[in-house]
Amino acid sequence: MSGRVSHPIVDTTRGDGRVACLTFDDGPDPTDTPRLLDVLRRHRVSAVFCLVGDQVDAHPEIVRRIVADGHTLGNHSMHHDDMGNWTPERIAADLRETDAAIRRAVPDARIGYFRAPYGSWGQSPAVAASLGLRSLGWRLAITDWEPPGTDELVRRLLDGVTPGAVVLLHDGGGDRSQTVDAVDRVIPLLRADHWRFTLPERPR
């Protein structure tokens, strides 16, 4: 991407001090997302789920559970395409289609954020803003799509998290069992070190 982004991409959390936000992309997945929701409920952590429209249409009941559990929704495009070179009109059509898919699952869903697939933003931040969506980036990505093993993911999370960080994780797009297991282990470790979990900061 070239040029300056004219609309803010949020990558920090609300609140001060040792706070972090967990965000999950590419779901919902029929196996790993329910397990992750169990983990988050057990630890009483709210997160952001950036949903792919195709997956929403395939698994609407999981989207309903995400909302029922009190988590925040994000638009992650309809088919997880690279939008970096798309026109604003094409981006807007895709985002609207994805929002419509989410609202077929949850008619009154509040969709607060948009995250560009692959972090390839192009002109999407301005388009997202025109549709009432806040563009959501991240401060820490642990590359859990590799996947490198649960122990390594735990290490990357503990070593990489910084105060105010939005953390990029995945609950879909492949076998994410290592991510779910790592989150289950990391939350109590961070809490014991006086970390709190919150939502992303709103852009000014």
What confidence tens digit (pLDDT) does each residue in 28-45 have?
999 999 999 999 999 999
What is the distance in angstroms between the CA of the first residue and the CA of the last residue of the chain?
23
Q: Output the CA–CA distances (angstroms, integers) from residue 124 to 26, 78, 170, 186, in the order listed.
A: 18, 14, 21, 33
Residue 6 banded pLDDT, cuts 50, 70, 90: low
> Looking at the domain that runs over 9-197, which CATH code has it been given?
3.20.20.370
Write out pLDDT tens, residues 68-123: 999 999 999 999 999 999 999 999 999 999 999 999 999 999 999 999 999 999 99
DSSP-derived secondary structure letter, 132: T
Residue 170 annotated to the active site: yes
DSSP string, 77-115: -SS----TT--HHHHHHHHHHHHHHHHHHSTT--EEEE-
Domain segments of the chain as ranges: 9-197
Write out pLDDT tens, residues 122-176: 999 999 999 999 999 999 999 999 999 999 999 999 999 999 999 999 999 999 9
Contact yes or no for 45/187 (Cβ under 8 A): yes
Share of the chain above pLDDT 70, in %: 96
pLDDT at residue number 5 = 45
Residue in 32, 170, 181, 184 annotated catalytic: 170
Residue 32 annotated to the active site: no
Residue in 11, 25, 99, 181 annotated catalytic: 25
- Which residue, 15, 33, 12, is CA-closest to 24? 33
